[in-house]
Structure 1
Amino acid sequence: MPPSTPAVTVRRATDDDATALSTVLAEAFLPGPIGDWLIPNLTHRRTIYHRYFALMLHRGLHHGHVATTTDLSAVAIWYDRTQPPPPSSSDYDLAQTTGIYAHRFSLLDATFEAAHPHEAHHYLAFVAVDPTRQGHGIGSALLAAYHTTLDRTNTPAYLEASNERNRNLYLRLGYTLRIPIVLPGDGPTLWPMWRPPTPSQQAGI
């Protein structure tokens, strides 16, 4: 995959990158409304998140497309939903990984899947930037590289934004809002978002 900007070179991740990238995911997602809902205790959350995101990285590497930067400061896990979806949570040993919080993770998966669009698209399951490197456009560059590929094949993208800051970023990247999701039990609001292919990029402009 080509460089997104002169400062950020994007490539496909490999198994050798898994430990570093799962750490980026765990630390980037540690604060936030979904984490508060999934695992209220922050100490427990950190321990479980490192196991959980190691599992998500393995799943993405073997069933999807994991993009990263040459310095491993950012990661995005995509799935091709023009094909049958990857294995469900029951197939990736969620209970052993998340322990007493497994019911919340299963509920999150089920809620997301119930709202998932049926149209063919690529699904951005996770995107994260090392907390010490955030705010420098690395995440936007990582996504822009993949969006260019999607535009060339006239393929839409879909994701769920977990907070207003990310939602506003995705709006600037060409995503539009769909009906919000509210997690059960007074959980947070999430924003499903859809990005149609961009004609100018399809034309090579």
Structure 2
Amino acid sequence: MIENDSAVRLATPDDLPAIADTLAAAFHDYPWMRWTVAADGHTNRVRCLQLYFTERIGLPYGRVWVAESPGAPDGIAAVAVWTTPATRVPAELFTAPELDAYYGDRAAHAVAAEQAVAPYRPSAPSWFLATIGVRPEHQGRGLGAAVLRPGLAEADAEGSAAYLETADERNVRFYAHHGFEVTGEADVPDGGPHAWCMTRRPAPTG
């Protein structure tokens, strides 16, 4: 059940600092980030990456939902960032020079990790859950599910599949509860994390 006094809404550019802070906190110890982002200044690097992808990709080319909670800094406790089949993200946004600076000495590992999961990504247009995170002190209160559901509802309304990747086995069970199935698995090279690629078929509407 979602915690009391919480509300989910579409994000605006004014939310970007709080979104970046929320996702940086949520992904502080996430295996994928620990493998692909340099250790020095790690939290700030993760914050910069999450800000970049939300500001440059999620807001203009997809959907970003936030869950508000009065107990969270700046009021935001959870975030979900999607890209959608309706828009095409310019390829150059994924290779911008500042990204290498954010990844630091792990930039090559970040490229290798992306290449490891790329074969399992859907060829048909799909809703892509780029990132979802809940502030650690607000986890276990239903906010992850609450901020996930609007994207799934829109995908269903369009008759579109949804896709995501996770490097935490605990997340596999969470996403399975919401209709996702594992459609591929990959080991990131050189001792990197294991990744699960998951797809959700559109649910009947009406």
Amino acid at match of 1:16: D
2:200 matched residue in structure 1:
195
Amino acid at match of 1:168: R
1:124 matched residue in structure 2:
129
8 A Cα contact 2:82 2:151, kept in partner = no
8 A Cα contact 2:37 2:103, kept in partner = no
1:102 matched residue in structure 2:
107
Root-mean-square deviation (CA, aligned residues, Å) is 2.2
8 A Cα contact 2:62 2:87, kept in partner = no
Amino acid at match of 1:50: R
Mind listing any 5+ residue stretches in structure 1 that lack a counterpart? Answer: none
3-state SS of paired residue (1:178): strand
Structure 1 residues 13-92: aligned runs within 5 Å = 13-39=11-37, 41=39, 43-59=40-56, 60-70=58-68, 71-81=75-85, 83-87=87-91, 88-91=93-96
The number of residues matched between the two structures is 197
Q: Kindly provide the CA deviation profile for residues 100-158 of structure 1, in whole angstroms up to 9, marking residues without a partner as x.
A: 22222233333333431102210001000111100111010111122122212211100
State the distance in 2 between where 1:111 and 1:178 align. 14
Relative distance call for 1:92 and 1:13 in structure 2 (3 A) is farther
State the distance in 2 between where 1:184 and 1:116 align. 18
Amino acid at match of 1:54: L
Relative distance call for 1:46 and 1:117 in structure 2 (3 A) is same
Shift of 1:35: 2.6
3-state SS of paired residue (1:180): strand
Shift of 1:83: 4.2
State the distance in 2 between where 1:99 and 1:22 align. 18
3-state SS of paired residue (1:159): strand
Amino acid at match of 2:60: H
